[in-house]
Chains A and B, each alone.
Chain A
Amino acid sequence: AQSVAQPEDQVNVAEGNPLTVKCTYSVSGNPYLFWYVQYPNRGLQFLLKYITGDNLVKGSYGFEAEFNKSQTSFHLKKPSALVSDSALYFCAVRDRGDSWGKLQFGAGTQVVVTP
């Protein structure tokens, strides 16, 4: 079984400040981990993924995420938030040991960046 938790329904941050969106996961094996962003009236856009190797993953639009195996976390970060980063963010996990495994999404975190 696999699950993803995004503990915050909403994150508010001022423009220029660091942004962090939290994600913890539970899988029976080793995970593939993904972050997606959804802007209003759009589909989900892929930001970044963790497969193996370096625990710090860099992605699109200046985002990065840190994989922490001991804490089973994969938090999304951006050093300096922009108003245009306001969107709905989803963390997702797939168990790499399950070849037919589905992508399991977290509940989503709404990010609001104020000018």
Chain B
Amino acid sequence: DTEVTQTPKHLVMGMTNKKSLKCEQHMGHRAMYWYKQKAKKPPELMFVYSYEKLSINESVPSRFSPECPNSSLLNLHLHALQPEDSALYLCASSQDGQGTGTSQPQHFGDGTRLSIL
């Protein structure tokens, strides 16, 4: 069982829909991450939250909007997505916040598989 929980596991949405992905961890980790992963490829970093503040945005299109309501929760709000946005979206957390040169590994959830019709 993973310690990072992502919901839903699967999501199918049209290009005009609005939906949200949710990620939760109760390990007391101070950094949380969103990644996008295409099949058989490495994860691509999208956003990093450190101590509940957005610290890195990898030039992600505005149709993706992250939110960190508290230290345990991370959301990714989706609106007007394109077919090329279909992918596995992974959430991860690490003990140290970014900016501390962390050697701590990231712990990943099992992802949300997103399909855009």
Interface residue ranges, A against B (CB under 8 Å)? 32, 34, 36, 41-46, 49, 51, 88, 90, 94, 96-103, 105-108, 110
Q: List 23 A-B contacts (CB under 8 A).
A: A34-B105, A41-B110, A43-B6, A43-B90, A43-B109, A44-B43, A44-B90, A49-B103, A90-B42, A94-B102, A94-B103, A96-B101, A98-B101, A99-B100, A99-B101, A102-B48, A102-B56, A103-B45, A105-B42, A105-B43, A106-B42, A107-B41, A108-B41
CA distance A108 to B38 in the complex (A): 12
CA distance A43 to B106 in the complex (A): 11
Looking across the interface, which residue of chain B has its beta carbon closest to that of A99? B101
- Pair B40/A88 contact, Cβ less than 8 Å: yes
Residues of chain B at interface, number, CB under 8 A: 27
State the majority secondary structure of interface residues on A.
loop
Interface residue ranges, B against A (CB under 8 Å)? 2, 4, 6, 40-43, 45, 48, 55-56, 90, 92, 98-103, 105-111, 113
